[in-house]
């Protein structure tokens, strides 16, 4: 028996990277999953991998833009209908943009905060009634090592992730007595769609020596932009633990997964 048999889970950002790896890991452990993302092409790739592993019959695809309130309201409603309820929510969707802080426009700032922080809030808000229908349920939000450690040219991104971290602590206290656990994962030095695109967002005149300390101390099998990176599967495994009974006494905290980059 898999530890997630019968569990109903919504995963945002499931078209690529860590979100995709998480959706596939949860399926592999027996869960029924709604994989949500703005990228329909990416979602089809997630489905193809699920079908290849024999778990495609428990996967539902959902096009949803977490930066748009109406899309989230309709999308979460569709997810609940497909699953017949909800046991866990994994908010992996997000974007990264980089710039000199003194050159960051209000439009760019609002875009990053709007998708990462406000988008996470919107999905949580819409999912909460269904989660609270259960005596035990879980929210896993995505912070980042940038919320606690300096990442150059990423002030807006870091602020959004720090906000998610604080938001998660508040949820843990507010709903803990109702049986809802709220936890953050804080990946760093993990290969994803975001890390693959980072080089294209960093300012052309960036001081790359500022990135020198952002490397894992554990052996890393992957790379992104020439930098050593861990596998998304490393984060997916932690999330599978958190939404299972093995994580039953974990809430109101963040788990850093960075190969010792910030040891």
Of 30, 91, 88, 93, nearest to 59 (Cα)? 30
Indicate the number of domains in the chain: 1
Q: What is the arithmetic mean of pLDDT over 60-84?
A: 98
Tell the burial category of 169 from Cβ atoms under 10 Å away from its Cβ (0-12, 13-18, 19+): middle
pLDDT digits (tens, 9 = 90+) for 20-59: 999 999 999 999 999 999 999 999 999 999 999 999 999 9
Q: What is the arithmetic mean of pLDDT over 134-156?
A: 96
Boundaries of domain holding 51: 8-257
Q: What is the arithmetic mean of pLDDT over 136-162?
A: 97
Instruction: Determine, yes or no, domain membership for 1.
Output: no
Q: What is the arithmetic mean of pLDDT over 52-80?
A: 98
CATH number at residue 201: 3.40.50.720
Instruction: Determine, yes or no, domain membership for 43.
Output: yes
Burial 125-144 (b: 16+ CB within 10 A, else e): ebbbebbeebeebbbbbbbb
pLDDT of 1 above 70 = no
pLDDT of 116 above 90 = yes
Instruction: Determine, yes or no, domain membership for 2.
Output: no
Q: What is the bridge-based pairing of β-strands 227-229 and 253-257?
A: unpaired
User: What is the Cα–Cα distance from 143 to 164, expressed in whole angstroms?
Assistant: 6
pLDDT of 199 above 70 = no
Here the tokens at position 160 are 């959004």
Instruction: Determine, yes or no, domain membership for 263.
Output: no
pTM confidence score: 0.95
Instruction: Determine, yes or no, domain membership for 262.
Output: no
Report the chain's mean pLDDT, rounded to a whole number: 95
176 Cβ neighbours under 8 A, 6+ residues apart = 251, 252
pLDDT of residue 197: 63
pLDDT of residue 208: 86
pLDDT of residue 179: 98
pLDDT of residue 192: 82
- Match 């938001």 to its residue by tokens: 167
């Amino acid at each position: 028996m898999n530890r997630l048999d019968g569990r109903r889970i919504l995963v945002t950002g499931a078209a690529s990277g860590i979100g995709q790896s998480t959706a596939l890991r949860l399926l592999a452990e027996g869960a029924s999953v709604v994989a949500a993302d703005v990228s329909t092409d990416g979602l089809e790739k997630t489905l193809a991998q699920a079908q290849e592993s024999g778990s495609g019959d428990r996967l539902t695809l959902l096009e949803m833009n977490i930066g748009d309130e109406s899309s989230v309201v309709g999308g979460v409603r569709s997810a609940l209908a497909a699953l017949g309820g909800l046991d866990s929510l994994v908010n992996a969707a997000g974007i990264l943009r980089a710039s000199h802080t003194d050159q960051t426009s209000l439009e760019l700032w609002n875009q990053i905060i709007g998708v990462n922080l406000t988008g996470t809030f919107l999905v949580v808000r819409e999912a909460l009634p269904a989660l609270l229908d259960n005596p035990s349920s879980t929210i896993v939000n995505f912070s980042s090592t940038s919320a606690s450690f300096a990442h150059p040219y990423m002030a807006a991104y870091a602020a959004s992730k720090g906000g998610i971290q604080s938001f998660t602590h508040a949820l843990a206290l507010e709903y803990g007595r109702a049986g809802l656990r709220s936890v953050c994962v804080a990946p760093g030095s993990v290969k994803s769609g975001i890390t693959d695109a980072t080089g294209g967002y960093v300012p052309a005149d960036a001081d790359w020596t500022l990135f020198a300390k952002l490397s894992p101390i554990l052996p890393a099998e992957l790379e992104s932009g020439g930098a050593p990176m861990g596998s998304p599967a490393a984060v997916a495994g932690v999330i599978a633990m958190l939404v299972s009974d093995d994580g039953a006494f974990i809430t109101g905290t963040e788990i850093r997964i960075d190969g010792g980059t910030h040891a």
